[in-house]
Amino acid sequence: MNALWLENNKISLRDIPKPDQPNEALIKIRLAGICSTDLELVKGYYPYTGILGHEFVGEVVQAPEKSWIGQRVVGEINAVCGRCEACLNGRPTHCENRSVLGIANRAGVFAEYTSLPLENLYRVPDSVSDEAAVFTEPLAAALEIQSQLLFQQIDRVLLIGAGRLGQLIAQTLALTGVDLSVVARHPIQQQLLTARGIKLISEDEIQPKKWDVVVEATGSPSGFDLARKAIRPRGILVLKSTYKGDMNVNFSSIVVDEINIIGSRCGPFEPALRLLEKCEVDPSVLISDQYKLRESLKAFERASQPGVLKVLLEI
Residue 39 has pLDDT above 80, yes or no: yes
Q: Print the SS3 string covering 166-220.
A: HHHHHHHHHCCCCEEEEECCCHHHHHHHHHCCCEECCHHHCCCCCEEEEEECCCC
Distance CA 200, CA 184 (A): 7
**Fold observed for domain 2-123+282-314:** Quinone Oxidoreductase; Chain A, domain 1 (3.90.180)
| Residue pair 61/152 in contact by the 8 Å Cβ criterion | no
- Which pLDDT does position 243 carry in this prediction? 80
- Which pLDDT does position 119 carry in this prediction? 97
* Alpha-carbon distance values, 220 to 73, 224, 226, 236 (Å): 33, 6, 10, 18
* Alpha-carbon distance values, 42 to 36, 51, 66 (Å): 10, 11, 37
Domain 141-263: CATH class, spelled out: alpha beta
Distance CA 173, CA 165 (A): 12
| Residue pair 46/142 in contact by the 8 Å Cβ criterion | no
Strands (E) in 16-135, as ranges, are: 25-34, 50-51, 55-62, 72-75, 78-79, 99-100, 113-116, 121-123
**Structural element, H or E, at residue 313:** strand 310-314
- Which pLDDT does position 228 carry in this prediction? 96
Mean pLDDT, the chain, whole residue set = 96
| Cα 233 versus chain centre, distance | 29
Residue 229 has pLDDT above 80, yes or no: yes
At residue 305, φ and ψ (nearest 5 deg) are: -75, 145
pLDDT band at 15 (very low <50, low <70, confident <90, very high): very high
Distance CA 191, CA 198 (A): 10
What contacts 120, CB < 8 A, 6 or more positions away? 75, 76, 77, 78, 79
At residue 168, φ and ψ (nearest 5 deg) are: -70, -40
| Mean pLDDT value of segment 2-7 | 97
| Residue pair 107/51 in contact by the 8 Å Cβ criterion | yes
Residue ranges per domain, the chain? 2-123+282-314, 141-263
| Residue pair 82/71 in contact by the 8 Å Cβ criterion | no
Distance CA 197, CA 191 (A): 10
| Mean pLDDT value of segment 171-183 | 97
Share of the chain above pLDDT 70, in %: 100
Residue 244 has pLDDT above 80, yes or no: no
- Which pLDDT does position 218 carry in this prediction? 94
| Residue pair 238/213 in contact by the 8 Å Cβ criterion | yes
Torsion over CA: 242, 244, 245, 246 (sign): negative
Report the SS3 class of residue 297: helix
Q: Confirm whether 2-123+282-314 and 141-263 share one CATH topology.
A: no
Residue 172 has pLDDT above 90, yes or no: yes
Residue 46 has pLDDT above 90, yes or no: no
- Which pLDDT does position 242 carry in this prediction? 82
Distance CA 264, CA 48 (A): 22
Q: What is the pLDDT of residues 285-300, one digit of tens each?
A: 999 999 999 999 999 9
* Alpha-carbon distance values, 191 to 91, 94, 186, 194, 286 (Å): 38, 37, 9, 5, 11
Residue 246 has pLDDT above 90, yes or no: no
Q: What is the pLDDT of residues 53-89, one digit of tens each?
A: 999 999 999 999 999 999 999 999 999 999 999 999 9
